[in-house]
Amino acid sequence: MRILILNPKDNVGTALQDLPEGSWINGILLRENIPFGFKTALSDIGEGDKIIKYGEPIGIALTRISAGELVHVHNIQGIRGRGDLL
Amino acid sequence: MISFPCYMRDDGSAGIRNYTAIIPASVCAAPLALKAAFRVDGVVGLSHKGGCCQIGNDYKRTTWILRKLCTHPNVGGVVLVALGCEGTPWESIAEEIEKSGRPVELIHIQRAGGSKKAMEKAVQAAEGIKERTAKTAVIRERGIKDLTVGLECGGSDATSGLSANPVIGRAADELVRQGAKVILSETTELIGAEHAIMANTGAPRIKQKIIDAVKRVENEFLKAGEDIRGTQPTPGNIEGGLSTLEEKSLGCVYKAGTNPFVDFLEYGEPARKSGLSFMDTPGQDVESMTGMAAGGANLFLFSTGRGSPVGFPLVPTVKITGNEATYTRMIDDIDFDSSGIFRGKPLDELGQELFDLILQVSRGKQTKSELNEYYEMGIPKREITL
C-alpha cells in the first residue's frame, strides 16, 4: 500500500512512502512529489471546500486544488480556534 | 492472572518504582534540587518555576501539585528543599509526607548557611533516605488494576495518528479490560475531534463535560485573537505532514482506544475509577504529564512521531513512534517502534507487543528517558506573578 485512505468520505490520502510526481496512485496522476506522511487530493477540491481526513473536516481549501496535488499548509487552513479570523 | 511486584504505600496505592525524590518548594530551590539529585545514583530531582509570588489559583495549583508529587505512588521518600522565604507552605507539605509513611528531610537553604552547605545536606539526606527506603520497602505482588496509565503525545507527525496513537489505543483497551485506570488529557488537542468524543459510548454527562472544556479552551484561543497556525500545529508538526490543529486532534484521540469515558478530572485531580478518564490539561506535553502524575499516573505511554526525549520524573515514560526514520535516528530516546503497521503488521499484534512492554516496565525495566535521566515537569500558570 502506497497511500492510506482512512475513511470513504475522505478527499485526501496520506502517502506511506515518498511518492514521485508523475506516478499513478488509485487512478490519480500525482502532479507533485508527495513526501511520506503528507497528503494528496483524491479528487478536485474547490476553493473554500472542506478537506476531509479520518472522515472529519480538518480545514478548508484556500485555493482550488486538483486531484494529485499536495495538500498542506500552502493551500488549506484550519478554521478552529482562529482568533485572527473573527 | 498477571502480577508484578509493587511498592505498597500506606494509603493503599502501589508504586512500580521506589524513588527517592529531591523536590524544590519554589523556583529558587530548584537548581539545588536538580544538582543534588545528579550526585546520588538513582535519586530523581524535580524542578519548577512556581512557589513564590503566586496568587489565587496559581498558588493553590502549585501547592496541590507539589503535595501530590511528594506523596506519589512511585515515591518512597523525599528531600524537600526550601529557600526559606517562599510562599509554598513547605512545613505543612513536609508534615503531610511524614503522615503518608514516607521518610522526609527538609533542607532550608537560608538556615543551612547557603547553597553549598545546603547541597551537602541534601546529598547526605538523599543518600540516607535511599538506603532506608530500600530496606523498609513493603513489596507485594499486584496486578494491572494497580496501574494508572497516562496517555500523552508530543512532537507529533502524520504517523502519530496513523500508527503510534492507534497502537496506544489498543494497549489502553487491554489495560482497561484488566481493570487499570487510564487517563486521556490535552483539552486543546480535542478541538476538531468532538465527533469522536460524542461517538464514545461513555455517559452523556461525562462527554458533555469534555465538550464544555474543549469549548472553553477554544474560546480562550479566540479571545487571544491570534493566528494559531505555526503554534498549533507546531512547526515540527507541520514539517511532519500535519496541516491543521483539527487534523492533529483527530489523530491524538486514537490514544483513548474504544472504551467509554467513565470520569472527568480537573487538572491534577486524582483518578478515581477503573477505566478511561479524561483530564482537563493544556496541550503542552510536559504540563499535561505533570497534571496526570499529580492525578496518580504511575506509568506514561507517550507517542512521538518527530522524536521527543522528554520523560516525566517519578513516572516511567514509554516512548512510542510510528516513524521508522525517527526510531532509527533517536534509538537512544525511543522505546517502541510501531511503524510495522505500514508494512502490514496487524494493529492487534503491535498493541499486544506494547502491552508486553508495559508489563516489563512495570516489573522494573528502565525506559529510555529513565536511563538518560531526561526529565522535565511544568505547572501551568494562569495569573500574573506578583
pLDDT at position B27 is: 97
B280, B284, B289, B291: CA torsion to nearest 10 = -40
Stated length of chain B: 386
> What mean pLDDT value characterizes chain B?
96
Q: Hey, what's the cell of B178?
A: 484488566
Contact A56 B195 (CB under 8 A): yes
Nearest CA in chain B to A16: B342
Q: What is the pLDDT of residues B117-164, one digit of tens each?
A: 999 999 999 999 999 999 999 999 999 999 999 999 999 999 999 999
Task: Tell me the C-alpha distance between B74 and B18, whole Å.
Answer: 5
Residues B161 and B237 sit within 8 Å (Cβ to Cβ): no
DSSP per residue over B155-179, as a string?
S--HHIIIIIHHHHHHHHHHHHHTT
Of B172, B176, B183, residue with least CA distance to B150: B183
Q: What is the ipTM of this complex?
A: 0.97
Task: Tell me the C-alpha distance between B137 and B143, whole Å.
Answer: 18
pLDDT of A16 above 90: yes
Contact A81 B250 (CB under 8 A): no
pTM for the full model? 0.96
Give the single-character DSSP code of B55: -
Neighbours of A18 (CB within 10 A): 12
Residues B33 and B125 sit within 8 Å (Cβ to Cβ): no
Interface check for B15 against chain A (CB to CB < 8 A): the answer is no
Q: What is the pLDDT of residues B221-259, one digit of tens each?
A: 999 898 888 888 999 999 999 999 999 999 999 999 999
Rounded to the nearest 5°, which phi and psi values hold at B330? -120, 40
Task: Tell me the C-alpha distance between B305 and B273, whole Å.
Answer: 30
Give the single-character DSSP code of B243: -
Amino acid identity of residue B31, one-letter, is: P
- Residues 209..238 of B with a Cβ closer than 8 Å to A: which? 217-218, 221-229, 232, 238
Contact A72 B228 (CB under 8 A): no
CA dist list (Å): B83 to B25, B95, B345? 8, 17, 54
| Average of per-residue pLDDT across B25-45 | 97
Distance, CA of B144 to chain centre: 18
Of B152, B151, B162, residue with least CA distance to B345: B162
Contact B245 A80 (CB under 8 A): yes
CA distance B7 to chain A (A): 42
Q: What is the pLDDT of residues B302-353, one digit of tens each?
A: 999 999 999 999 999 999 999 999 999 999 999 999 999 999 999 999 999 9
Nearest CA in chain B to A53: B247
B197: region left, alpha or beta (phi > 0 left; psi from -120 to 50 alpha): alpha
CA distance A62 to chain B (A): 12
| Average of per-residue pLDDT across B188-210 | 94
In this prediction, what percent of chain B has a pLDDT beyond 70? 100
Nearest CA in chain A to B225: A83
Give the single-character DSSP code of B146: G
pLDDT at position B373 is: 95
